Amino acid sequence: MMKRIIATLTVLISFVTLIQAQENKGAGVVQTAVPFLNITTDSRSGALGEAGAATTPDIASQAKNPAKYAFTESTSGIALSYTPWLKNLGISDMNIAHLFGYHKLDDLQTVSASLRYFNLGEFDFYDRSGDPAGGSNPNEFAFDMGYALKLTDNWSGSVALRYIMSDIYQNVGSTLEATNSDLDAGHAFASDVSFFYNKPFYRARKQSNIAFGLNISNIGSKISYDGGEQKDFIPTNLKIGGAYTTEIDQYNKVSFALDVNKLLVPTLLEEGMPKYDETDPYLQKVGPIEGIFRSFADAPMGFKEELREITISTGVEYWYNEQFALRAGYFHESGESDIDQDPANEWKNKGGRRYLSFGAGLKMNVFVFDFSYMVSVGNTNNALSNTLRFTLGYDIDNFRRQGRRR
C-alpha cells in the first residue's frame, strides 16, 4: 500500500508546476501543468513514434492535426482510444480515454470534436497516526471542438477551441494539511491553429503522395489551483511534420513520417542559473503569448540548449490492400536519466525519453481497429515501457453506404 501511495503522489506532483522550484529535479526540463494534453492517445500515432502531423487523415486526426479532416474521404466517423497509463510502475487503475468524432458539412468544411479523460486512479489518505483519512480519485479532462476548411486543392487550415479541467487535488485540502484547504480544481481555455498540405502525384507510374503539417496547440490561458495566486503554463506545443507515401504495387503501399516538436513554454530557472530573474522567479508576470516568444530564446545555456528541447518522432507504415497495416516508429528526447549531478550539466537533461514503438491496424467494413506497443530504449526502468494503446473507429459513412446497398 505504501509503495502505491508514494508512486501515485509522485505522479501527481509531476503533473503540476509547484511553487517550490528548489525541489524540482533537472533544471533543464521545461515544466507545465496539465501535461496530459500532450500525451499521444491514438494508437496509430503511438505506433509511429508519436508522428502524426502529416500522416494520411483518419478519424483520430483531432489528436495531432485537425486540419487533415478536410481531406478525409469518408463523410463522418467516431473513434475511441484507451491507454492504460504507467503500467510499468505497477499502477492498475490509471488510464486515458479519448473520444473523437468528425462530420463533413460539404466538400470544403468539416467540423470535429473530441473529449479526453485522464483518470489518475484511486488512493487512500492517512493521518499522522496512520488512521484512514478519506480517499481521492484525481482526474483531468479536456473537451474541444474544431472547424477545418479546405483552402485550395492541396491546402487546408483548422481552428479548435478547448476547455480544460484539472482536479488533481481532489479532497486533498479536506483530508490532509489545513494549509492545503484552498487548493481546488483548475480551469483553462485554449485553442489550436493547424495547417495541412497534401499533394498526390505519380512517380514511375505509381501513385504517391507528399504531405506537410503544422499544428500549434494549447494556445491559451494559464491554469491555477489556488484561486489565481499561483498560475502555471499549460503545454503550448509546436508540431511540424512531413510524410511521403508511395505504392509498391496494386495491393501494397508504404509511408514514411517525421515530426519535430517543441514546447512553447518559457523555462523555469533556478537561482544562480544564467538568465534567472529574481524579480519574477516563477514567471507569474509572463503571459501566455509572451511565453511563446520567450520559449525560443530563454534557455540558460543558449541556442544549443534550445535545440535540445526539440523532440523527434519518426515512423514507417505499411498497408496491404487498404485493410491491414503494420507500423513501427522511434521517439527521441534529449537527456539522460543517469546524468551526473554537476549543475553545469543539468541543462542537458530534457527528459531523456527514448523508445521504439510498434503496432498494427485492421479495417473491417465499417470498423477500424488499431493498437500500439512501446519499448523503452536505454533505460529498462522507464515508466513508459510496455505502454499499450487501443483505438476502435467506426466509419459512419461506410455504414450508410452498406445500408443503401441492402
Quote the pLDDT of residue 360.
97
> What pLDDT digit, counting tens, does each position of 331-388 carry?
999 876 444 445 555 556 677 888 999 999 999 888 999 999 999 887 656 677 889 9
Residue 240, strand partner residues: 214, 260
pLDDT at 84 over 80: yes
CA distances to 7, 9, 89, 170, 400 from 3, rounded to whole Å, are: 6, 10, 10, 20, 51
Quote the pLDDT of residue 36.
93
pLDDT at 3 over 50: no
Residue ranges of domains in the chain, CATH in brackets: 2-405 (2.40.160.40)
How far apart, in whole angstroms, are the C-alpha atoms of residue 353 and residue 263? 15
- 173 confidence band (pLDDT: 50, 70, 90): low
How far apart, in whole angstroms, are the C-alpha atoms of residue 357 and residue 375? 6
| pLDDT, average across residues 280-304 | 89
Q: What are phi and psi of 5, to 5 degrees?
A: -65, -45
- 16 confidence band (pLDDT: 50, 70, 90): very low
| pLDDT, average across residues 105-123 | 93
pLDDT at 178 over 50: no
Per-chain mean pLDDT for the chain? 84
Quote the pLDDT of residue 281.
83
- 30 confidence band (pLDDT: 50, 70, 90): confident
Place of cell 471542438: 145
Quote the pLDDT of residue 28.
62
CA distances to 13, 70, 301 from 27, rounded to whole Å, are: 16, 41, 11
Quote the pLDDT of residue 384.
77
Quote the pLDDT of residue 4.
42
pLDDT at 249 over 70: yes
> What pLDDT digit, counting tens, does each position of 314-333 carry?
999 999 999 999 999 999 99
Place of cell 486512479: 121
Whether the Cβ atoms of residue 102 and residue 69 lie closer than 8 Å to each other: yes
| Beta strands 132-136; 237-247: pairing state | unpaired
> What pLDDT digit, counting tens, does each position of 34-74 carry?
999 999 999 999 999 999 999 999 999 999 999 999 999 89
Percent of the residues in the chain that have a pLDDT greater than 70, as a whole number: 80
71 vs 180, residue with greater confidence? 71
Q: What is the number of residues in the chain?
A: 406
Quote the pLDDT of residue 355.
92
pLDDT at 117 over 80: yes
One-letter identity of residue 385: S
How far apart, in whole angstroms, are the C-alpha atoms of residue 179 and residue 225? 13
Cell of 206: 505509381
As a three-state string, the secondary structure of the chain is CHHHHHHHHHHHHHCCCCCCHHHCCCCCCCCCCCHHHHCCCCHHHHHCCCCCCCCCCCCCHHHCCHHHHHHCCCCEEEEEEEEECCHHHCCCCCEEEEEEEEEECCCCEEEEEEEEEEECCCEEEECCCCCEEEEECCEEEEEEEEEEEECCCCEEEEEEEEEEEEECCCCHHHHCCHHHCCCCCEEEEEEEEEEEEEEEEEECCEEEEEEEEEEEEEEECCEECCCCCCEECCCCEEEEEEEEEEECCCCEEEEEEEEEEEECCCCCCCCCCCCCCCCCCCCCCCCHHHHHHHCCCCCCCCHHHHHHCCEEEEEEEEEECCCEEEEEEEEECCCCCCCCCCHHHHHHCCCCCEEEEEEEEEEECCEEEEEEEEEECCCCCCCCCCCEEEEEEEEHHHHHHHHHHC
| pLDDT, average across residues 185-207 | 92
